Amino acid sequence: MTAINLRRGLILALVILVADQASKWWVLNGLDLPMRRNVPLLAAGPFGLDLTMVWNRGVTFGLLSGSEPWHAYVLAGLAAVIAAVLLRWMAKAENRRTALALGAIVGGAVGNVIDRLRFGAVVDFVDAHAWDWHWYVFNVADAAIVLGVITLLAEALIGGRPAPAAGEAPR
């Protein structure tokens, strides 16, 4: 069963990687977003989703950002090591949900590593906002990583419990 789960996780990682890189190509070349800022995508009352170009030189939420050339390589190397550890975990995943969550994280991490190696920073372009509050600008890879982590947390907290036996009270 672990071989099937590994295959599923790897396929999802590849799908996310392709979607991430295609969306970034579209933003940089097709849409020419670096020249156009705040292109509205969706508006529903006080909530909105815009396209806006941001070069993220750090990690999540811009943490650990730096402009030195070596900085991007250090972050890319760290992300690559983490992706390798997650691939090993994926190879041992005992259920589909865990394998898919790990695949989402690995696909997103590799997509952002490619950006760091190509551009020295990650291409972020989705701006979600409500009223006057804006979430950090993100991309397809970031969304996949966050959803994968949330799934792993849910799996750890509630997904791994065995079902109660007949006549037994739930724990």
Candidate list 50, 115, 127, 142, residue with the active-site label: 142
Q: Given a cut of 90, is residue 148 above it in pLDDT?
A: yes
Q: What residue type is 136 in one-letter code?
A: Y
> Is 127 a residue of the active site?
no
Given 32, 124, 127, 132, which residue is catalytic?
124
Whether pTM > 0.85 for this model: the answer is: no
For residue 63, the model assigns a pLDDT of 46
State pLDDT tens for residues 29-66: 888 776 666 777 888 888 988 898 888 876 554 544 55
Among 24-28, 31-35, 134-138, 167-171, the range scoring the smallest mean pLDDT is: 167-171
State phi, psi for 37 to the nearest 5 degrees.
Answer: -110, 150
Given a cut of 70, whether residue 93 has pLDDT beyond it is: yes
Return the HEC string of 54-119.
Answer: EEECCCHHHCCCCCCHHHHHHHHHHHHHHHHHHHHHHHCCCCHHHHHHHHHHHHHHHHHHHHHHHH
What is the reported pLDDT for 117?
A: 86
Catalytic residue status for 142: yes
Residues sharing a CB contact under 8 Å with residue 138, sequence separation 6 or more, in sequence order: 124, 126, 128
Q: What is the mean pLDDT of the chain?
A: 83
